[in-house]
Structure 1
Amino acid sequence: MAGKLLKLAEVLSELDVPRSTFYKWRRLGVAPRALKMPNGELRIRRAVLDEWLAEREEGGNAA
């Protein structure tokens, strides 16, 4: 498995959003892709989060 796996708490802290917002984004299909572990916890690859953030940068080269 390549790349660091972030715990949901780490992602929430970095994005400065509450858990409820993140789960709302998941329901809407706009949250970063996550891995669901056997214990039900979510993990997000560092590279996936970085890509997700880059896609949301304003003034970028988005088509």
Structure 2
Amino acid sequence: MTDMHFVYGMALGKARRARRLYGQQFPQRPTPNVHTFINIHAQLCETGSFKRSTGVPGRPVTATTIQIEEV
């Protein structure tokens, strides 16, 4: 992903230009969609990392423990 972000910077933030440059620089690799360049840049700006969070998305799980009284 770092190479995609680097090319996006070389293209001055233009996703279509970045896609074309990436295809020229790395012809042996599949060329990513223009939205991939935009999303990678946005994620890096928001989180400071290329890694996705490992947490489970969604509502937190709550557990209720019932104590039974012995008679």
Scaled by the length of structure 2, what TM-score is found?
A: 0.27
Scaled by the length of structure 1, what TM-score is found?
A: 0.30
Higher relative contact order (CA 8 A, sep 6+): 1
Q: In terms of Rg, which structure is larger?
A: 2
Higher strand share goes to which structure?
1
